[in-house]
Structure 1
Amino acid sequence: MDSEKFFTNKKAVILLASFCCILWGSAYPGVKIGYALFEISTNNVFSELSFAGYRFIIAGLMVLVVALCTSKHLFTLTWKNIMSLVLLGLTQTTLQYVFFYIGLAHTTGVKASIMNGTSAFFSVIFAHFIYKDDRINFKKTVGCILGFVGVLLVNFSSDLLNFNFKIIGEGFVTVAALAFSVSAIYGKKICQEMDSVIVTGYQLLIGGIVLLLMGFSGKGYMTHFTVVSTLVLLYLGLLSAVAFSIWTILLKYNKVGPIAIYNFLIPVSGAILSAIFLGENIFEWKNAVALILVCTGIYAVNYQPNKRSKRALKKRSDFV
């Protein structure tokens, strides 16, 4: 089975896309734990950026080493390829994670994971204007409304009397989701001309270097390296290397919509893992309802009846 057949196989897509989203969900408690182990305070923005820089440099190098070991041509790039990779690295890694790391430091892992669900809705909106066969319709509109209601709900207090939304917290996480949606569509375009693994490796490395330089520019140096803190950093790098590599390949061979449906696993896994590892309250009623609304909205946006269901509906309409 060649690469295209494998990565378009329905069972393979389900397993791989779900695996990616669970990995990304684990980043929420992972980053928060990393802050604690490296003793990075919520106000130390430049150290947060350095932390992100180390993570993505490690991730990029991991991907490129694998690419080199599998005989891929890493150094046969044109100036056009280089400029495309730089732009992708600055948007998909640098821009996204500047907002993600700062935002996550000022909100809970549960709230951040639910807010991140907006990336699926941004993808739907952008796809409407970019792809002729992926227009917004009634079910997508309903899905987007459900999702945004869920996002609003999670920012209210338990008695629904106070709206708790911090620009530098939940707002930044939302901007990160927006950056991910835009850059993923751009990355899909680049991968039509370049190898997906090479694209992933270079964009992670380039974005990580810029993040690290930004951190160092404000003297945000990393300290408190221990065995445990280093293992957490390596895990965060590994999950990015694996998740971004697989996701990029899936987007290359599939439409954006059918893949985006699996994004609902990010808020689910992120919220559950944050509750387990950070002791955060996922069982508060508004969090549970918000999670259900976001996941239902994402599913509704991307749901497509299978061919058998479509034939049944057609026969029913013909009969009527």
Structure 2
Amino acid sequence: MSSSVQPTMNARDWALLIGLSIVWGGSFLFVGIAVKELPPFTIVALRVSIAAIALIGVLRVMGVGLPRDRKVWAAFFGMGVLNNVIPFLLIVWGQGHIASGLASILNATTPLFTVIVAHFLTSDERLTGRRLGGVVLGFIGVAVMIGGAALQALNANVLAQIAVLGAALSYAFASVFGRRFKAMGVQPIATATGQLTASSILLLPLALFADRPWTLPMPHMSTCLAILGLALVSSAFAYILFFRLLASAGATNTGLVTFLIPVSAILFGVLFLGEVLSTKQVLGMALIGSGLLVMDGRVLRALARLSGARPVPRENG
């Protein structure tokens, strides 16, 4: 089965990308509630393990079994390490030393890393001027939206900043690594289930060792509901969308979700927390939208046709 992808996303791909950004953006609400009572490793372990259990149940209802092939399971563990274990641990440690706003900016470098990694490790997602320009424009939009106050902390803790950048790089490798599941013939829901199951096997012992959760007081109902939302909505459902989008749109296009997550997180704050949308946030969202349009290319080609100028050529990756 071919694992090649189309460089330009169609309407379904854009819908998946926006949906993924919404469910991952909503995770900020859930985490913000959970961290008041639970330590980070416990939150992460509960997130992946509950999500894995839920998806295993879904697979049974659908009558779909997890693959038994050792090569597929080796890939599940590789994806779990690259997409969950390494980035989750690095971000948790890094955010203990730097502000969340700065961490958001550093994490938004994921599409930049993905463009470079995909260029060298794939044959159909080559680095192009339009693609790089769109990613840089989107990154500037994230920086503007978060604000200059976070940028002033760039020298606060170099190791923590490197840790979050390492997480972004790990996500980039995960996006490219995850493309192999389409070639293996593994369905997106089975890929999501396998990855989360492998991550649970790796993360649960770490949480038991680091946090000793049996010594913690019983959390309130709001915390329990937040964990369920984080696991079922922002993990189980999110990874089904992620692997479906990855299979059709490729690593570079899927990585664009990192730009949209801060947008959805801010909008959730406006809708549910009474926060006010500032001018810099509106400007940042406009820059992010412009970057996405540049990468997509169809608007530029339409404008060129209307103006009578030479059409903007389609790029093959």
TM class by shorter-chain length? 0.7 to 0.9
Counterpart Cα distance in 2 of 1:95 and 1:161: 27
Q: Is the contact made by 1:32 and 1:104 (CA closer than 8 Å) also made in structure 2? A: no
In the TM superposition, residue 34 of structure 1 has moved relative to its aligned partner by 0.8
**Equivalent of 1:309 in 277, 302, 306:** 302
Residue 102 of structure 2 corresponds to residue 120 of structure 1 = no
Distance 1:144 1:23 in 2: 22
Is the contact between residue 189 and residue 240 of structure 2 (CA under 8 Å) also seen in structure 1?
Answer: yes
Q: For 1:191, what is the secondary structure of its paired residue?
A: helix
Corresponding residue for residue 70 of structure 2: 79
Alignment of 1:270 onto 2:262: no
Alignment equivalent of 2:220, drawn from 226, 244, 249: 226
Stretch moving more, 218-227 or 119-128: 218-227
Tell me the equivalent position of 1:214. Answer: 206
TM-aligned CA deviation for residue 168 of structure 1 = 5.9
Q: Percentage identity across aligned positions?
A: 23
- What CA RMSD, in Å, does the superposition of the two structures yield over aligned residues? 3.5
* Deviation readout 1:178-214 (Å, 9 max, x if unpaired): 2222112111112321222112112112213322211
C-alpha distance after superposition, 1:154-181 (max 9, x if no partner):
57438x8664554465543333222222
Give 1:204's aligned residue: 196
- Aligned residue type for 1:236: L
Amino acid at match of 2:202: V
The CA distance in 1 between the partners of 2:289 and 2:112, in whole Å, is 11
Number of the residue aligned with 1:130: 121
Q: 1:243 aligns with which of 222, 238, 241?
A: 238
- The alpha-carbon deviation at position 263 of structure 1 amounts to 4.1
> Hey, what's the Cα distance between the residues in 2 that align with 1:230 and 1:259?
30
> Is the partner of 2:126 in helix, strand or coil?
coil
Matches of 1:112 and 1:10, distance apart in 2: 31
Q: Please give the TM-score of this superposition, normalised by the length of structure 1.
A: 0.78
Task: Return 121-130 or 101-110, whichever deviates more.
Answer: 101-110
Q: Secondary structure, in 3 states, of the residue corresponding to 1:157?
A: helix
- Is this contact kept in 2: 1:63–1:241, CA < 8 A? yes
Q: Which residue of 1 aligns with 2:31?
A: 31
**Residues 261, 299 of structure 1: 8 Å contact kept:** no
Amino acid at match of 1:211: L
Tell me the distance in 2 between the aligned counterparts of 1:252 and 1:299.
21
Indicate conservation of the 8 Å contact 1:110/1:280, yes or no: no
Matches of 1:310 and 1:296 in 2, distance apart?
Answer: 14
Q: Deviations over 1:69-126 (max 9, x none)?
A: 101122x412212211111111111112112333345555554444332222222111
Aligned to 2:133: 142
CA distance in 1, matches of 2:238, 2:307: 39
